[in-house]
Amino acid sequence: MLIKRSTFASVAAAGVLLTGSGAAVAADGAPADGAAVTANAGPSKQAKYQRLHQLTRSTTTSVKDWRRTRELAQSGVDRWGFIWSTDWCTKLADKPGGFNFKLSCARHDFGYRNYKKMMGKEAFRHSKHERRVDKAFLFDMNNQCAVQPHKTDAERRQCRKTAKAYYDRVSN
């Protein structure tokens, strides 16, 4: 495949390349999620940090990508070596008022645990990442409120109010 050097550089800077076969690979040469990884071919620290950032944003794409990456890790395909354990929102009820926030809690735990491991606990507490992970938590809960089955507008408002109370508890 012929690629102009400037095009290749800009694609590589974006972090993903396509091989001639159409298989996606990271800019560091490692295969994309779902592909086999050989021993010692793990991602660089910078690539892992960028991936963590991608998986903890307040976007529906980030949520879907996190879920897919989590499912792959749970099935044994874990190219990134992230921490996936969760305690489902420490000391907070998982389903307050019947609203299920468990996956929101799991993604929040994912962000906290992995940033703390990569940066150190104190550096994380004083970084922009803690606030961003907390905002993603609120984003996730509000999205969950929007898709609750058979809920009235009043129940959805109550769900968002409960989500905001959860957010306030974790972001203090």
Q: In this structure, are 25 and 41 located in the same domain?
A: no
CA proximity to 50, closest of 13, 92, 1: 13
| One domain for residues 96 and 20 | no
CA distance 22 to 110: 30
Assess whether 16 and 77 both reside in one domain. no
Assess whether 108 carries a catalytic annotation: yes
Render pLDDT for 1-15 as a digit per residue (tens, 0 to 9).
333 333 333 333 344
- 104 and 85, same structural domain? yes
> Of 53, 108, 129, 150, which is the active-site residue?
108
pLDDT in tens, 108-157: 999 999 999 999 999 999 999 999 999 999 999 999 998 877 678 888 89
- Same domain for 22 and 57? no
- Can you tell me whether residue 25 is helix, strand or coil? strand
Same domain, 9 and 84: no
Closest C-alpha among 77, 97, 78 to residue 141? 97
Q: Does residue 72 share a domain with residue 17?
A: no
Domain boundaries, position 5: 1-32
Tell me the HSE value of 5 on the side-chain side, using a 13 A CA sphere.
0
How many domains is the chain built from?
2
- Decide: 138 and 112 in contact? Cβ < 8 Å: no
Residues 46 and 26 placed together within one structural domain of the fold: no
Structure tokens, 88 = 């489902």
Residues 9, 50, single domain; the answer is no
